[in-house]
Amino acid sequence: MGLQRRLRVMTFGAESMAQDAAVLVAFASTDMKHVDQHFGAAEAFAVYAVDPAHAALHEVIQFEQISIDGNEDKLAAKIGALAGCTAVYCQAVGTSAVNQLRAAGIQPIKVAPGVAVSALVESLQEELRAGPGAWLARAIESRGADRADRFDAMASEGWSE
């Protein structure tokens, strides 16, 4: 079982989001419109870049079709493909997958079958505007930890008061 196809959406110009400000979230979906997949058996993920004001499809990741069989070998490829994501929304997720996702810095979020991706994105944007909850605040903070040189970059640009 492996990655079958990966499509990254490229955006240029003023309408593109600053990737530093956006969080990446994945949705286990066959139609890219609704969350309708169990994490371990997900055939595809729609990955969105989301910030308080904008949201855009970032990429679509597709896998070979598999069954839910308790075989954990399939999880590594899926978790690896979601590297950089803050969260993954799915219908269900097993305990082992939850542990592996959290270890990779990805928050698994179970939602009711058929929930619209657009509604989840809007809800996430509202949370970002109001002040992120505990898991999202930790994820944003940990993402910033990877950018320890951000203050050096700001200092090299110079300050004007």
Percent of the chain residues past pLDDT 90, beyond the cut: 57
* Residues β-bridged to residue 63: 3
Do the domain assignments include residue 99? yes
Confidence bin at 14 (pLDDT 50/70/90): very low
Do the domain assignments include residue 105? yes
What is the phi/psi pair of residue 88, to 5°? -135, 125
pLDDT digits (tens, 9 = 90+) for 51-73: 999 999 999 999 887 655 555 56
Total domain count, the chain: 1
The type of residue at 63 is: F
| 36: CATH | 3.30.420.130
Percent of the chain residues past pLDDT 70, beyond the cut: 71
Q: Which of 25, 57, 58, 31 is nearest to 44 (CA)?
A: 31
Q: Which of 24, 25, 26, 28 is nearest to 113 (CA)?
A: 28
pLDDT digits (tens, 9 = 90+) for 110-158: 999 999 999 999 999 999 999 888 888 888 787 665 455 555 555 655 6
d(CA 70, CA 68): 6
Domain of residue 127: give its range: 19-136
Q: In this structure, how many other beta carbons lie within 10 angstroms of the beta carbon of residue 150?
A: 11
